[in-house]
Amino acid sequence: MPDHFARAPLTVDQLSDALSAMRAGTAEISLGKRSLAVIEALIADPAHAANRSISSLADDHGVNASTLSRLARTLGYANFAEFQQVFRRHVRNTGHYYSEQATKLREAQPVDMDALALAQRIANGEQSNITDMLAGIHENTLKACIDILANAPRVRIYGMRQAHAAAVSLSYTLGLVRDDVCQLNTAEHGIAHGLAQLQPGDALVCFGFRPYSRNTLMAANAASHTGLRVIAVTDRADSPLVQAAAHSLIAPTSDAVFSNGLAAATVLAELLTQMVAQALGDRTLAKLQSHEKLIADLQVEA
């Protein structure tokens, strides 16, 4: 039996599932009753687990700090700090995201701000997000993503809630320049059905922004385990999607708005499409000409 999980749980929910499997004896590792009790206590109070130091948590649970460090590594994390991030993300992203954003919005602008001033403030925030996105791109990561999106036999794209809009945009534009691109699932068929159609070497692009969708995290994690090449487009370097992906591109969404601004993600999606088109060269031109012929044959506008 392995001495640690091959892949650490990404969320508190996944950690809870792992705990249940260990108690049932069906997990890939086994732990003693004391360790299982500590994990259960941490899951029961994620805010406490997120905000206390390792030494304080060790005292609270009657163990040594070194015991918590070993426990974290056994669960597949590099260290206790990485383990603690699971609880910090949970606390940060659970329950109050939209109301907290609304509070920030009220604090950031006068109640009598006129429409043009508000439009300028929103535009400035989105311009800042785009600038931060461009500054954060690593050339080797971008090249790897383009290679995957140009050459994978099949590409599927997935996002929930507001991220769904970014996923739809990339699905449409990338589908204009190469074959076999679409969204991962339909409401009728679901994620499992979509993943079952794919083979190792195919690609999945997951869009996810705070508050992160559990469905998106599960899709990325399952895809990675089945040999798909996962690309995450997400808002932060410590996003849980980063851990599940082979490559990650950061599209910041920060500003005092009700939800997430998508300008940086939209620019990134257009960048990916144009670079894939460049990589494919004449194949892209032939694909576009075929699309135009279908439009003419069908006598439709799009």
Tokens of 1: 């039996």
Going by pLDDT thresholds of 50, 70 and 90, the confidence category of residue 297 is confident
Going by pLDDT thresholds of 50, 70 and 90, the confidence category of residue 248 is very high
pLDDT of residue 4: 84
pLDDT of residue 108: 66
Query: CATH number for the 12-93 domain, one of 3.30.530.20, 1.10.10.10, 2.40.50.110, 3.40.50.300?
Result: 1.10.10.10
Question: Which residue has 């603690």 as its token pair?
Answer: 84
Asked if the model's pLDDT at residue 302 lies above 60, the reply is no
Asked if the model's pLDDT at residue 176 lies above 70, the reply is yes
Q: How far is CA 178 from the centre of its chain?
A: 24
pTM of the model: 0.70
Compute the average pLDDT of residues 33-54.
88
Going by pLDDT thresholds of 50, 70 and 90, the confidence category of residue 193 is confident
Rounded to whole angstroms, how far apart are CA atoms 234 and 186?
22
Asked if the model's pLDDT at residue 39 lies above 90, the reply is yes
Compute the average pLDDT of residues 253-257.
71
Compute the average pLDDT of residues 12-30.
89
Compute the average pLDDT of residues 174-196.
86
pLDDT of residue 257: 67
Compute the average pLDDT of residues 229-236.
94
Q: What percent of the chain has pLDDT over 70?
A: 90
Mean pLDDT of the chain: 87
For residue 234, the number of C-alpha atoms closer than 13 Å in the C-beta half-sphere is: 25
Compute the average pLDDT of residues 205-233.
91
Asked if the model's pLDDT at residue 188 lies above 70, the reply is no
Q: Which of 85, 144, 95, 159 is nearest to 276 (CA)?
A: 144
Residue pair 212/244 in contact (Cβ under 8 Å)? The answer is no
Window from 28-42, 220-234, 282-296 with minimum mean pLDDT: 282-296
pLDDT of residue 101: 66
- List, for residues 154-170, the tens digit of each pLDDT value: 999 999 988 999 999 99
- The domains of the chain are located at 12-93, 125-298
- List, for residues 111-149, the tens digit of each pLDDT value: 777 888 888 888 888 999 999 999 999 999 999 999 999
Compute the average pLDDT of residues 34-48.
88
- List, for residues 89-102, the tens digit of each pLDDT value: 887 766 666 666 66
pLDDT of residue 102: 67
Asked if the model's pLDDT at residue 2 lies above 80, the reply is no
**261 backbone dihedrals φ, ψ, rounded to 5°:** -75, 140
Rounded to whole angstroms, how far apart are CA atoms 118 and 52?
40
- 125-298 folds as Rossmann fold (3.40.50)
pLDDT of residue 276: 97
Tokens of 189: 């068929």
Q: Looking at this protein, which amino acid is placed at residue 150? A: A
Going by pLDDT thresholds of 50, 70 and 90, the confidence category of residue 104 is low
